[in-house]
């Protein structure tokens, strides 16, 4: 493990994943790894229970960004003392809107995405465990936003608090505070690698996020319908 991302979700972390892999720090573990393999939820639940399953989680990985890894940045700093830490940041208001439109909405409210997500949890035990992990990691007593999340100001306050805590905890020589708009230069200098000829990759995270939740729910509900109503007795 060469780099630990401590930046919150919705701070350009999928772009970071692609950039780090272009720089030779791949594979880079990201929340999409969990969505692609829901069996990994059990490992992260164990981590929240106080275990340290890092060798199992990060086998073959050279970096990690986004949650769940970023949630455990302090533990990972101890587990990988040679790894550097990347704190990705973003304009707080823009971040709040992006976070609320995706992760928050998946778990709250009565729009299509949370309704389908909750319906999937009724027929898919693995997705039910996944939502329980999200609840613990974000909204519950252990959560990043346990102090409140119903209003924009609440989320923004806790975002700022998280970023300041990372700056306080991580030794300066180990830390880069970086925004996607900063481009390759600061990131490559920090990692001591050459700047690529190609532009920094850009990933639009909202569309794929919504598709993963809604598409996954429709697939699971369709499979359940086939089993319940069309399978031979």
How do the domains of the chain map onto residue ranges? Answer: 3-230
Give me the DSSP letters along 85-154.
EEEE---HHHHHHHHIIIIIHHHSSSSHHHHHHHHHHHH-HHHHHHHHHHIIIIISTTSTTTT--SSHHH
**What is the CB-side half-sphere exposure of residue 151 using CA atoms within 13 A?**
4
Percent of the chain past pLDDT 90, that is, above it, reads 79
Decide if pLDDT at 217 tops 70. Answer: yes
- Mean of pLDDT values over 101-113: 87
Which residue from 38, 227, 189 is spatially nearest to 126, judged by alpha carbons? Answer: 38
Higher-scoring residue by pLDDT: 87, 224? 87
Tokens 């995706």 correspond to 102
Q: Does domain 3-230 have CATH number 1.10.10.10?
A: no
pLDDT of residue 211: 83
In the predicted model, what is the mean pLDDT of the chain?
A: 93
Alpha-carbon radius of gyration of the chain: 18
- Using DSSP bridges, classify how beta strands 84-88 and 3-5 pair: parallel, antiparallel or unpaired: parallel
- Mean of pLDDT values over 36-51: 96
Higher-scoring residue by pLDDT: 29, 110? 29
pLDDT of residue 233: 59
Which residue from 57, 3, 8, 11 is spatially nearest to 162, judged by alpha carbons? Answer: 8
Distance, in Å, from the CA atom of 22 to the CA atom of 35, rounded to the nearest integer, reads 22
Decide if pLDDT at 207 tops 80. Answer: no
Which residue from 179, 131, 139, 133 is spatially nearest to 155, judged by alpha carbons? Answer: 139
pLDDT in tens, 143-154: 999 999 989 999
pLDDT of residue 30: 96
pLDDT of residue 17: 96
């Amino acid at each position: 493990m060469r780099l630990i991302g401590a930046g919150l979700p919705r701070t350009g972390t999928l772009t970071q994943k692609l950039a780090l892999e272009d720089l030779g720090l791949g594979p880079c573990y990201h929340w999409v790894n969990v969505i692609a393999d829901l069996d990994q939820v059990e490992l992260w639940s164990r981590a929240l229970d106080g275990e340290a399953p890092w060798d199992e989680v990060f086998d073959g990985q050279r970096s990690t960004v986004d949650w769940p890894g970023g949630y455990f940045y302090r533990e990972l700093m101890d587990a990988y003392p040679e790894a550097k830490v990347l704190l990705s940041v973003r304009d707080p208001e823009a971040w709040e809107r992006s976070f609320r439109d995706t992760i928050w909405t998946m778990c709250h409210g009565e729009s299509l995405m949370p309704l389908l997500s909750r319906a999937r949890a009724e027929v898919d035990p693995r997705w039910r465990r996944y939502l329980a992990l999200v609840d613990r990691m974000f909204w519950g007593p252990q959560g990043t936003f346990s102090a409140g999340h119903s209003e924009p100001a609440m989320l923004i306050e806790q975002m700022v608090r998280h970023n300041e805590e990372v700056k306080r905890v991580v030794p300066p020589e180990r830390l880069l505070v970086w925004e996607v708009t900063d481009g390759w230069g600061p990131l490559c200098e920090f990692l001591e690698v050459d700047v690529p000829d190609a532009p920094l990759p850009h990933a639009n995270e909202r569309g794929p996020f919504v598709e993963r939740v809604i598409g996954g729910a429709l697939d699971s509900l369709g499979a359940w319908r086939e089993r319940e109503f069309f399978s031979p007795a």
